[in-house]
Structure 1
Amino acid sequence: MQLYRFLTADDTDAFCHKVTRALNAGWVLHGSPTYAFDAANGVMRCGQAVIKDVPGTYSPDLKLGEQ
């Protein structure tokens, strides 16, 4: 089965660490990153989709962050 996650965070090194951690756990970048201004909080936000192939069958109870 193929899993999908969309990682987001403020534009700090924490976002890069989040993506790097996912890549080192076997996730693969999917598409281009996004970058937008969050007017409510006055910060820039980053986003990146990642995908991963794993054995098994999909269930809504699946904890994607633990894969």
Structure 2
Amino acid sequence: MSTPPDGLPVYRLLTGPDDASFCHRVSEALSLGYRLYGSPAATFNGERVIVAQALIWPSAEAGVPSS
């Protein structure tokens, strides 16, 4: 598949509390065919850890500059 399903964008940034729900969202995106893009990020909002993970659709990787 050259484009993500259901009209999803080729680049996604998932964010949320560091909990099982967030892990399931990332796992679901991976099972759809997305790939992790970069390292995860984490911060503390005074109450809990908030995490972010970028994902990219494989066909879009050709247009991504290397670091």
After TM superposition, is the score higher than 0.5? yes
Which of 1 and 2 has higher RCO (CA within 8 Å, sep 6+)? 1
Structure 2 unaligned spans of 5+: 4-8, 61-67
> Structure 1 vs Structure 2: percent identity of aligned residues?
38
What's the counterpart of residue 3 of structure 1? 10
**Greater fraction helix:** 2
2-side partners of 1:35 and 1:48: how far apart? Answer: 9
Equivalent pairs, count = 52
3-state secondary structure, aligned to 1:32 = coil
Q: Which consecutive aligned stretches of 4+ in structure 1 deviate over 4 angstroms post-superposition?
A: none
2-side partners of 1:15 and 1:26: how far apart? Answer: 17
**How far apart are 1:36 and its partner, in Å?**
0.6
One-letter identity of the residue aligned with 2:11: Y
TM-score for the superposition, normalised by structure 1: 0.69
